[in-house]
Structure 1
C-alpha cells in the first residue's frame, strides 16, 4: 500500500496533540507535533535578573530567540511584541505555530484530512 504525507498547522498544542491521538487511532505510520516561531532557538533556559543579569538582549529575554550577535539582538528587540504591548489582541501567540507532520496509509488519507480540518487545522 502507498503512503501519503500530511503537514497541518494549528493554533494550539492541545488541538495538534488531539489530532495526533486520533491519527494514531487510524493507524498512522508516523505522527509528530512541534512548535516553531519566527526566531531560532528555544529561548532562555534559566532564570535571569533583567536588572543585574547578563541576558544578552531584550529579544532573547522576551522573544525566546537564540541571539548570536548584538545586531540580531537589536533587530529582534525592535519587534513590537518585545515590549509586551502588542500581543495580537488575545494574549500569547495568535498564529498557526504548531505543526503536525504525519505519514498515513493511502486508505485513510481522506479520513485523516477530515479529522484535521474538523479540529481546526490548516492544511
Structure 2
C-alpha cells in the first residue's frame, strides 16, 4: 500500500496532540510534532532557568525571549532587534504569540489521506 504525508500547522501543541489522537482512528503509520521558528537553537525552555537573568548569566535578549542559540554575538544582537524579542509586538489574547509555529507531520495510508486532512483542518490547522 502507498502512503501519504499530512503537514499541518497549529497554534498550540494541544491542538496537534488532539489531531494525533483523532488520526489514530485511521491507519496512522507515524507522526511527529515539532515547534519551529526563525531562530536557531532551543534557548531557555524553562522558567526555572531564568534565575541567571539577575546575575547577568545569559547569552542575550534573543536567547531569553526568542529561544535562540546563536553562533556569533552579531547574530544574537540582530535577533534581539526583532519586535518579537523586545516585547513591543503583541497580538491575540494575553499577548501570546498568535502564529502557527507547531508542525504536525503524519504519515497515513493513501486511502485515509482525505479524512486525515479533514481532521486536522477541523481542529484549526493550516
Q: Could you state the TM-score of these two structures normalised by the residue count of structure 1? A: 0.89
Instruction: State the match for 1:17 in structure 2.
Output: 17
Higher helix share: 2
1:49 is aligned to 2:52: yes
Which residue of structure 2 aligns with residue 99 of structure 1?
103
Cα separation, 1, equivalents of 2:113 and 2:55:
54
Aligned-residue RMSD, C-alpha: 1.5
Unpaired stretches in structure 2, ≥5 consecutive residues: none
User: Following the alignment from structure 1 to structure 2, what is the Cα–Cα distance between the partners of residues 64 and 87?
Assistant: 17
Residues 1:35 and 1:71: Cα distance change in structure 2 (over 3 Å): same
1:82 aligns with 2:92: no
Alignment-derived partner of residue 114 in structure 2: 110
Encode CA deviations 1:52-86: one digit per residue, 9 max, x unaligned. 22212111121111122110111011011222231
Aligned residues: 122
Query: Does residue 1:32 correspond to 2:36, yes or no?
Result: no
TM-score (norm 2): 0.88
The 1-side partners of 2:66 and 2:90 are apart by 12
Question: Could you list the runs of 5+ residues in structure 1 that have no partner in the other structure?
Answer: none
1:87 Cα shift? 2.1
**SS in structure 2 opposite 1:75?**
helix
Deviates most, 18-27 or 84-93: 84-93
Q: Following the alignment from structure 2 to structure 1, what is the Cα–Cα distance between the partners of residues 51 and 72?
A: 19
The alignment status of 1:61 with 2:68, answered yes or no, reads no
Instruction: Give the Å deviation of 1:89.
Output: 4.1
Does the Cα contact within 8 Å between 1:60 and 1:66 map onto a contact in 2? yes
Secondary structure, aligned partner of 2:124 = coil
